[in-house]
Structure formats: C-alpha cells, structure tokens
Amino acid sequence: MNVLTKPALGQPKRKFADLQRASMVRWAIIVALVAVLELTTRTGMISQSLMVPPSVILAELASIVPTEQFGQDAARTLTTILTAFSIGLVLGVPLGVFLWRVPAAGRILEPFIVTGYAMPTLLFYPVLLAVMGLNAGPIIVIAASMSLIPIALTTMVALNAIRPILHKLANSVSASPQQYYLKVLFPAATPLIFPGVKLGFIYAVIGTVAMEFILASQGVGFRAGFYYRELNTADMWAYIAVVIVLSVLVNSVLTWLEKRIRRDML
Amino acid sequence: MSHISPIDSVGHDSDVVFDNIGMTFGTGTGSTQAVANVSGAIPEGKFVSVVGPSGCGKSTLLDMVGGLLKPTQGTVSINGETVTGPRKDTAMVFQEDSTLHWRTVLDNVAFGLEVKGLPKTERYESARRMIELVGLSGFEDHRPGQLSGGMKQRVAIARALAMEPRVLLMDEPFGALDQQTRQFIGRELLHIWEKTRNRVLFITHDIQEAVYLSDEVWVMSARPSVVKEVVTIDLPRPRPEGTHSLPRFRELEDHLWALVKVEAEKTLGPGARLA
Amino acid sequence: MLVALILLWALLSTMSDLVASPAESLSALMDRFADGSIYRHLNATMQAVAIGFLIAAAVGFPLGYAIGRSKFLGAVFDPLVAGAFAIPRVIFFPILLQIFGVGVGAQSAMAALAAVFPIMVSTTAGVRAINPLLPKLARSLSLSPLQTVTKIYVPAMAPSLMVGIRIGFSIAFINVIIAEFFAARAGLGLLALRAYGMLDLPTMYGIIVLLAAIALIGNLALWAVERRLGNKQL
C-alpha cells in the first residue's frame, strides 16, 4: 500500500510513521470486517437470503462484469453521472461568480441555497417522471441540481476569500477582465473551489444511483433494486458491491486530486 | 488654504507632475478630505520618499499616481499625459504580500509582462535579469510558499522593475517585515536602484529609511494633507555602510523627526507623545 | 421568490397536460386532509424521520467527537467516513428491508444510516475547529472531564453541532422519502409514487408540495437557530 511512497518533502518522519500505522489499522479493520461477514454468512449466523459471503459476491461480480447487460447498465450510469456533473459545473461556477459579484443576490438567495444543500430536489423525481418520461432525463436534472449547489456555494465563498491585494495588483498592471479572471481570480480560488467540485461530483453519483434505484429502466442502481425484487440476493449484492467500488474509487481519485491541487496551488 | 509647493519650478514634460491635486472621500457632511492641494514633481532619476503621520493620505497619493484612485481635484500627469487609470509605465509594490502563490518565482516576476502581452521568451529573459538583480538567482522555480517574507517582497520588486516603469511606486514595501530584514532589504534596494535609477515614489513611516534611500523627502501634514516641507537629502551617493552615522545623516533625521512629530501630535491630540 | 415559483408552475400547467395546476393540486391535497386518509401516511413518514434522526444523532455525535479529539482515530477513520459519505446509502435499503421487513422500521434504519455520516463529519470538523486555548483553559481550571465537555466543548461547538443537526435532519428526511418511493406500507413518498402510478397527477403534485414545504420549513427553522447561535458567539 503506502510502503513504497516516500514521505512528502519536509514532513517530519514521526508524523509519517503515525500515518502509516493509522493506515495499517484502517486496513486491518476493513479486512476483519470482511472476514467476519464471510464467517457469519458461511456458518449461517447471517442467513444467506440476507447476505451471501463476500467470496461469493466476488465470484458473482466476476461473472457479471463481462455480460452485455452489465456493460449497458454501467455505461448508462456513468454517462448520466458525467452529464449531470458537467451541467452542475457549467452552471454552478457562473452562478457562484454571479453570487460573488452581486452580493445582494447572494443574500437573497442564501437561505435557499443553504437549505438547498439538502433541499429535497429528489422529491420532484415523480414530477419529472410525469413530465419527461421514464428515461435518463429526470435523473440528469435531479443529479445536476444536487451537484450544482455545492459548486456554486464554494465558488462564491472562494472568490470572497481572495486577498484584496490581488485585486489591487491586477488593477495596477491594467489586466483586462479576461486576464483578471483567468490569470488571477480562478487560479487563486481553485484550491478553495475544488472541495465544492468534489462534493458536486459525489452528489452527482449519489443522485444518479439513488434515482435509478427508486425507478428507472437501466443503470447499476436500478439493477440492485431489480434483483432485490427478484429475490436474487447474490446478484443484488454484486451490484451493491459495484456501487460501493464506484463511489469509493471516485472519492479516492478526487481526494488525491484535491491534495495535488492544494500542494501545487496553495 | 495655503500650501507650499515642493518644487518651485514645475518639472519637465517627461516628469511625473502633481498639479494641485486633492482627494475627498465621500460627499456631503460625511466626507473626509484626505489630501489637499499637493503640487510637485518627481524628476528623472530621483528617489522621492513621502513621510508623515499615519492616516495622512500617503498611500492615497501613491494610488492616485498609480491610477487606482482618481483625484477629486487637480491632475497627475506622467510624460505630459494626464493619468486617468492604471498605466503601463507605472509599476507598484505593495506593503502586503502580493505574490501569486500558484506561480513560480519566474512566472511571478514575468506576470506584469505577460499581462502586457509580451511573448514568452522575451518576458522570461527580462524576468531572469530582474531575478538576478534582486538576488534571487537559483529560486526561479520556487513557489512563494517556500520563500521568506523578505524574499517575497523582492519578487514583488522584481516584478515591478521588469515592467521598466517610468516611475516605480512603492507603498511601504518593507512595512510588514521585521526590523532586521527591513534594514537588509533596504540596503539591497539602494544597490538595485543605483543600477537602474528609475524614478521612485516611496511611501514609508520610517524616517531613517527615508533619509538613507532618498534624494528628496516630502513631509506631509495631518489631514487634510498638504506637503509641508520638502527636504533635500544632500548625502553623497553611493551611500556605503557607515552612512547612518554621518553627522549630516543625523541632522537630516532630527530635522524630519521634528517636522513629523508636530503633525503627529495634531492627529493624536494635544499632549500626545510619540513612542 | 416563492411567488415566482408558483407563478411559473401555474404557467407550466396551462401549457402541459402533464402538469397539474397549483389550485387543482392544493384542493386534491385538502381532500386528503378532509377525509383523514393522509394522517396515517404523514405519521409514518414523520415517525421514521424522527426515530432515524435520533439514532443517527445518538451514534454520530459521540463518534464524531471521538474522531475529532484523537489524532490517531482521526487518521484511521477519516478516510473511511469520507468513503462511506460518498456511497449512495440508499443502495443498502434492500438489506434493511430484509432485516426489518417492509415498514417504519426499515425506513427509520435507512434514515439513521444516511444521516449518521454527515453528523459525524460536521461534529469532527467542529471539534477540530475549537480554539486550542480552550482545552488548556479547562486544564488550568482543573475541570472534570464532564465539565470540560458540557462547559467548554459543547458551547464552543454549538454552531457546528447545529449544522450537523440541520444537515442530518434533511438527509434523514430525504432518505425516508426515497425509501418510501421504493417500498413501504405507509408514508407520503409511497402515496406520491402511488398517485404517479395511477396518473392522479393533482394528488401527486399536492403531496410533493407538502413534502417540500415540510423540508423547507424544518430547514429554515434550524438554519435560523444556527444563525442566532453563530451571531451570539461572534
């Protein structure tokens, strides 16, 4: 795991050793958890109609992944996530800039945006289903709206947090508005905006999978619910595992990116 | 209101000229007059410092030359043209750290030229020259986060110098540094300036620093500020290590202290003492 | 803002058969209240939200506090909590259904499972943001551990605890509804999706408006408390 990575420059060795120990304990917990599940399901302490042993899930996963159905479900889910996230990003950043430029609008909209963090946009899923039909459309709308809010909010906060001297500097070298945004504002704000972008992506994943799970015709979220209704516990678990792996992977990649951006730009 | 013109003859066309400028913030009863009736000129190759009690509008004066503030009265002209906004032939160094933390030292120094639209090879060439001039050779690829406060200010100075400004505007550039760094970097600035001989308008509240660096020191009064007296610093250049202990240095310093003290007492109220 | 939304809704309803008008929807909702048929569902939903939230709070606050206080626990659990936070927790609902059977129990468990992570995250962040001088102060006054928590930590953390409560409430609420959309014996989510299935659009819109109103009002109220606490501290 982390054995091969060198300690970051200038970081005390002790701290690194602590982190390594923590990561070992963490992996031990995960491994122990899997082992316990394997044991309890094998011995029948947990009924196999509730959960199949992790080793069986793994085998099931291996047999599912090459199927055409899995390919279609995965493709549908991924394109939905990416579309929703792109919409959230393309609308969220300008919205954040607007809220920053026009503080009055920010103040009026703030309660809605803050509550919108948890605003039940998901509640409107049946409405969208009624209007748009049973396809990826309603899911994209909901996942995009969930993804947009943290992006817009952190963009606003990040722009507000820029040191005033940088505005003065840009002004003093008579930077054009375009240079001002591209060379000063956005680079200065990126490390602070990125956590919002990360959250936006995670929300796009959560929104997409959750909506697919409720009602859809395709997608990995839909398939998990579908196998529940079919009473096919092994396949249901395999799809749940797919969702877990996907989410953890997304989170890890984004966390890694976040660290890099912080190191390079802060 | 009477004012004393710092220089009897208005300067040449190529100079930086203040023509009876004033600045009032706000309107009506809530307004404050920060600067009133300042006239003068910064001649070619001169280092001019402005000292005065805090809050006397020194920075306001500088911002007006830099085009960041528009005077409410009178005009500033550079090279015969009235200043209406930030110009390409002025460059500023601020008190706060104004380095762009996501750029390397090289890209920070080249920033002004990049904004001007200079091609990469040219702007890097002059940026490298300036980095050498301010003594940061070898740090081109470092980021500001890896530098000390004094080094960051040198980056800011190099960035300003790289623009080859007609006038370099420095707003208490060493104000945020500790005393030791401050004296050291002041000496460095003097060496650099003796090579470049730009016009400099230097705002400071450190009288010793002003005497050491300048050709002329303008003493500003309490608000509304006018230039109360222009003191010509007739110390020979170059000014080596021992300059601070010359009797003439002490004389000038004492004279300036007395002038500033009177003004500061006005701001702080009767009986106030300077630390 | 709200008026504009309702006007937009009214406008859309005149353009499409798929959108019921605000008046129709409201009267359909009123009918449900009038004949008393909605109360069973309202009760089921609110019960599940309340139970789920309380469980999440009872587990999330202490765990979040422990992770925030100890550097080592933080290093071990931060990535796990962040990873769990990123998983769409509804995906576990089928398992909860198998354990608890279809009913309020499964819904409550869903709410608890979903809300516990945001509560933990904001509590941890709150503990870490505490002025490091405060624990020193507590030691210098030789306060007991209980006094340290109740007199120093809880008041100092009040704003971030409120954030946890607000987000936890919202997440619990949303997940109960999603769970009800999926499978339930009673609940507003079930009612809305059933109305969708029967193409009873006015009822569906009416219930969704009711749900949005509950979420919004609950959220705004908690947010107001949060802001007052924040102001008091500044």
**Extents of the domains making up chain B:** 90-164
Shortest distance between the Cα of A182 and any Cα of chain C, in A, equals 31
- Say if residue A29 is in the same domain as residue A102: no
**ipTM confidence score:** 0.82
Q: What is the pLDDT of residues B219-275, one digit of tens each?
A: 998 888 888 889 999 988 888 878 888 999 999 999 999 998 888 887 776 554 544
pLDDT score recorded for residue C231: 65
pTM of the predicted structure, to 2 decimals:
0.81
Distance CA C106, CA C92 (A): 11
Interface test with B, best of A166, A167, A173 (most B CBs within 10 A): A173
CATH number at residue A205: 1.10.3720.10
Same domain assignment for residues A107 and A236? yes
Q: Which residue has the higher pLDDT, A129 or B172?
A: B172
Q: Is residue C2 part of a domain?
A: no
Domain count, chain A: 2
- Other beta carbons within 10 angstroms of residue A65's beta carbon come to 12
A179 vs B contacts (CB less than 8 Å): 115
Determine the Cα–Cα distance for residues C222 and C171; give it in Å rounded to an integer.
14
Is the pLDDT higher at B131 or at B2?
B131
Name the percent of chain B lying above pLDDT 90: 32
Q: Tell me which residue in C98, C174, C205 faces A50 most closely, judged by beta carbons.
A: C98
pLDDT for B87 equals: 85
Same domain, A187 and A225: yes
B touches C (3+ CB pairs < 8 Å)?
no
Domain count, chain C: 1
Task: Please give the biggest Cα pair distance in chain C.
Answer: 71
pLDDT in the model for residue C167: 86
* Count of Cβ atoms closer than 10 Å to residue A91 Cβ: 16
pLDDT at B140 exceeding the cut of 70:
yes
- The predicted structure's pLDDT at residue C234: 46
Q: Cβ separation of C205 and A127 shorter than 8 Å? A: yes
The chains in contact with chain C, meaning 3 or more Cβ pairs closer than 8 Å, are A
Residue type, B124: Y
- For chain C, which ranges sit under pLDDT 50? 234
The verdict on a CB contact (< 8 Å) between C174 and A214 is no
Give the closest residue to B155 by CA, choosing from B101, B203, B90, B89. B101
Instruction: Yes or no: say if A122 and A211 are a contact pair by the CB < 8 Å rule.
Output: yes
Contacts of B116 in chain A (CB under 8 A): 173
Q: What is the mean pLDDT of chain B?
A: 85
Average the pLDDT over B20-44 and give the result.
84
Q: How far apart are CA C117 and CA C164, in angstroms?
A: 10
CA distance A209 to A204: 9
- pLDDT tens column, B185-234: 888 889 888 888 889 999 998 999 999 999 999 999 888 888 888 999 99
| Cβ distance of A173 and B163 shorter than 8 Å | yes
Half-sphere exposure of B25 (CA within 13 A, CB side): 10
Residue B14 — pLDDT band, cuts 50, 70, 90?
Answer: low
pLDDT for res B12: 59
Counting one residue from A and one from B, how many pairs have CB atoms under 8 Å apart?
A: 56
CATH number at residue C93: 1.10.3720.10
Position B142 scores a pLDDT of 92
CA distance C76 to C84: 14
Residue of A166, A176, A266 lying closest to B98 (CB–CB): A166
CB contact under 8 A, B91 and A163: no
Residue C11 resides in a domain: no
Q: What is the domain range of residue C77?
A: 34-187
Domain of residue A1, residue span: 1-46
Cβ-nearest to C174 among A120, A228, A251: A120
Direct distance between the N- and C-terminal alpha carbons of chain A, in angstroms, rounded to an integer: 27
Low-confidence ranges of chain A (pLDDT < 70): 1-14, 114-120, 265-266
How many CB contacts within 8 angstroms connect chain A with chain C?
A: 150
Residue range B60-69: mean pLDDT, rounded: 89
A108-157 pLDDT, tens digit per residue, is: 777 777 666 655 677 788 888 888 887 888 999 999 988 998 899 889 88
Is C4 part of any domain? no
- The contacts of residue B74 (CB under 8 Å, 6+ apart) are B18, B19, B20, B21, B22, B37, B38, B39
- Say if residue A27 is in the same domain as residue A68: no
Q: What is the pLDDT of residue A119?
A: 56
- Give just the sign of the alpha carbon dihedral A77, A78, A79, A83: positive
- pLDDT above 50 (res B9): no
**pLDDT, tens digit (0-9, with 9 covering 90-100), for B93-120:** 998 888 988 899 999 999 989 888 889 9
A115, A213, A255 member nearest C219 (Cβ):
A115
Q: What is the pLDDT of residue A13?
A: 58
Q: Is any Cβ of chain A less than 8 angstroms from the Cβ of B198?
A: no
How many C-beta neighbours within 10 Å does residue C132 have? 7
